[in-house]
Structure 1
Amino acid sequence: MTLSFFDQFMSPTLMGIPLIVLAMILPWTLLPTPTQQWLNNRTLTLQSWFLRTYTQQLLLPMNSLGHKWALLLTSLMVYLLFINVLGLLPYTFTPTTQLSMTLGLAVPLWLATVLIGLRNKATASLAHLLPEGTPTLLIPILIIIETISLFIRPVALGVRITANLTAGHLLMQLIATAAFVLMPMMPTVSLLTSILLLLLTLLEIAVALIQAYVFVLLLSLYLQENV
């Protein structure tokens, strides 16, 4: 019996070994690898089309310096997408529901964009801290506010994806528990609850896909400001 609904967000262990490492490595093994054949199968063709289209749309507003991040951003998008979707399967674990992982991805990547901006165009990067035409009395306050908003960016990146996935998983478990409890007492209500659970599952799949895209999109916007 589940003692707490939040037990599903604890990292599972097997013989004292945390399985979160396996959950983080598994998505890469599910991707089909390209072959040396002239004609690929439909799966590889669809995968190549998706990656090419996504990369073009992501890098469209950037200059040539930002295109160096194409491989990193695309790989991160596919990685988060697979982790989020696989976490919806039974007897699985979603590593992105852990702040330690999402912040571990968000902070270094955000810091890299800031350092690139300070190296390539330090004046323009520092100018973001003080809008043009600011009254003299408001200059210290605005600098403090903009500095705080700058350092909040990685926290918002990590917390956004974790909060959305955690809320969705928790709501799915609540509705599934209600459907199971109501089944012997009120079968009709239990059936309606199961239909609601199915619709919520479809919504959660969409949320898993969208959150992976939003994470990389915001990161690309931060990069765009600094290249």
Structure 2
Amino acid sequence: MNLSFFDQFASPCLLGIPLILLSILFPALLFPSPTNRWVTNRLSTLQLWLISLTTKQLMMPLNKKGHKWALTLTSLMMFLLTINLLGLLPYTFTPTTQLSMNMALAFPLWLATLLMGMRYQPTTSLGHLLPEGTPTPLIPALILIETISLLIRPLALGVRLTANLTAGHLLIQLISTATIALLPILPSVSILTASVLLLLTILEVAVAMIQAYVFVLLLSLYLQENI
């Protein structure tokens, strides 16, 4: 029983061939393709409006140097958003529940922001390791603590996304299993559990959207510190 709960997080395979790449690339096919028409349809207009609104929110705290990252951050958010939402459908696989994939997204982008800071303003970037006005005896300890907190950022990014989505999917499966098991025994309790399951599903839709936004927002804040 315990293994069946975690089977949904196993990478899908067909004839021994992993389908993880297909599950990552498939959501991009659902976006409406741009056309040469002056007046687009409602779906394309809504999509462009949401992307523009999100990009403005992400780029607002950044200066002009950081605006070069607009395409990367917006594309990353749309990628995470579609994967998280499609993973809530039955009989689907959510690649963002894999810590390896989330770390593969978080670590290179965090390292890129760090290297940009070291290249363009090394004094300011290294100055974050030691707050102004620190007493002299506390300087080695604070430098060590700030260095650890800096190096743990990509791990926190990947673990946060993985833990939230994994916990949500496990809760949905546990409550749905309880609903089916209680239906022939206690129908009234089963209906109550089904209502809780519906509310939890709505909450997980919100969590899937928020976690995608938080992942990209934290990257933009790390970028802000280094430009």
For normalisation by structure 2, the TM-score amounts to 0.98
Q: Is 1:222 equivalent to 2:225 in the alignment?
A: no
In the other structure, the counterpart of 1:98 is 98
Per-residue deviation, 1:121: 0.3
In the other structure, the counterpart of 1:71 is 71
User: Which deviates the most, 196-205 or 8-17?
Assistant: 8-17
In the other structure, the counterpart of 2:43 is 43
1:175-195 CA distances to partner (integer Å, 9 max, x unpaired)? Answer: 000001011111111111111
1:139 and 1:3 mapped to 2: Cα distance?
49
2:89 and 2:95 mapped to 1: Cα distance?
13
1:87-120 CA distances to partner (integer Å, 9 max, x unpaired)? Answer: 0001100000000000000000000000000011
Per-residue deviation, 1:63: 0.6
1:145-186 CA distances to partner (integer Å, 9 max, x unpaired)? Answer: 000000000000000010000000000000000001011111
Per-residue deviation, 1:4: 3.0
Q: Is 1:27 equivalent to 2:27 in the alignment?
A: yes
Per-residue deviation, 1:10: 1.0
In the other structure, the counterpart of 1:166 is 166
Partner SS, residue 134 of structure 2: coil
Per-residue deviation, 1:3: 4.0
Per-residue deviation, 1:18: 1.1
In the other structure, the counterpart of 1:12 is 12
1:72-93 CA distances to partner (integer Å, 9 max, x unpaired)? Answer: 0000000000000000001100
1:136 and 1:5 mapped to 2: Cα distance?
53
2:204 and 2:3 mapped to 1: Cα distance?
24
In the other structure, the counterpart of 2:177 is 177
2:46 and 2:176 mapped to 1: Cα distance?
34
1:166 and 1:54 mapped to 2: Cα distance?
25
1:4-49 CA distances to partner (integer Å, 9 max, x unpaired)? Answer: 3111111121111112111100111111111000100000000111
2:94 and 2:29 mapped to 1: Cα distance?
16
1:118-161 CA distances to partner (integer Å, 9 max, x unpaired)? Answer: 01100000000011111111111111000000000000000001
Q: Superposed, which structure 2 residues align to 1:84-95 within 5 Å?
A: 84-95=84-95
Q: Is 1:117 equivalent to 2:117 in the alignment?
A: yes
Partner SS, residue 4 of structure 1: helix
The alignment covers a number of residue pairs equal to: 227
Per-residue deviation, 1:213: 0.2
Q: Is 1:81 equivalent to 2:74 in the alignment?
A: no
1:19 and 1:175 mapped to 2: Cα distance?
28
Which residue type is aligned with residue 83 of structure 2?
Answer: I
2:212 and 2:54 mapped to 1: Cα distance?
12
Which residue type is aligned with residue 183 of structure 1?
Answer: L
Q: Give 4+ residue runs of structure 1 displaced > 6 Å after superposition.
A: none
Which residue type is aligned with residue 167 of structure 1?
Answer: A
RMSD: 1.0
In the other structure, the counterpart of 2:206 is 206
1:3 and 1:70 mapped to 2: Cα distance?
41
